[in-house]
């Protein structure tokens, strides 16, 4: 997948393993807004905060015809533990081969304890009912992010 997503353009349909045991297929989501938030790692402090906040605001997202999906490079097994631990009511998508991360260009060089490593840059994308990218938010802080996205969604 060489093409990257860009604002105002249709997001290429992709399929990815989901925590619900099925395959998430973007093409099946027409008619719904999709909130796709990329996060670095299950059960880490920032990612937990972000997940809990999205979970708490889920009914408000649903009122706006939006479905929330978290996505990281973690395995489905890791996602299952994360979901059970915090009782998340939304699916987590597993991108172990980084194909969707590449599509959305979220793999960036990061400084971890003085060492440069490649990891997911916390980012969120909003896809409209027609499959077009209408919101792109990068380098975000975990805390308060879900509310920020909800507020943005009301503006769109």
Of 5, 17, 47, 153, the active-site residue reads 47
Q: Which helix (H) or strand (E) holds 55?
A: helix 45-63
Distance between CA atoms of residues 143 and 108, nearest Å: 21
Whether the Cβ atoms of residue 90 and residue 68 lie closer than 8 Å to each other:
yes
Whether the Cβ atoms of residue 138 and residue 123 lie closer than 8 Å to each other:
yes
- Side by side, which strands form the sheet with 33-38? 23-25, 15-18, 91-94, 66-72, 33-38, 123-127, 133-137
Identify the DSSP state of 113. T
Whether the Cβ atoms of residue 150 and residue 57 lie closer than 8 Å to each other:
yes
DSSP string, 15-44: EEEETTSSEEEGGGGTTSEEEEEE-S-TTS
84 is catalytic: no
**Residues identified as active-site:** 47
């Amino acid at each position: 997948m060489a093409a990257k997503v860009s604002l105002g353009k249709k997001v290429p349909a992709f399929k990815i393993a989901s925590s619900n045991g099925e395959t998430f297929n973007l093409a099946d989501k027409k008619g719904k807004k999709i909130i796709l938030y990329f996060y670095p790692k299950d059960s880490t402090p920032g990612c937990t905060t972000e997940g809990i906040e999205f979970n708490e605001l889920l009914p408000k997202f649903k009122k706006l015809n939006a479905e929330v999906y978290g996505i990281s490079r973690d395995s489905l097994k890791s996602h299952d533990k994360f979901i059970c631990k915090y009782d998340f009511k939304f699916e987590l998508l597993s991108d172990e081969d980084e194909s969707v991360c590449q599509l959305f260009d979220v793999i960036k060089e990061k400084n971890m304890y003085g060492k440069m490593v490649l990891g997911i840059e916390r980012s969120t994308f909003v896809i409209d009912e027609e499959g077009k990218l209408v919101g792109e938010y990068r380098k975000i802080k975990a805390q308060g992010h879900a509310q920020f996205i909800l507020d943005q969604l009301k503006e769109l």
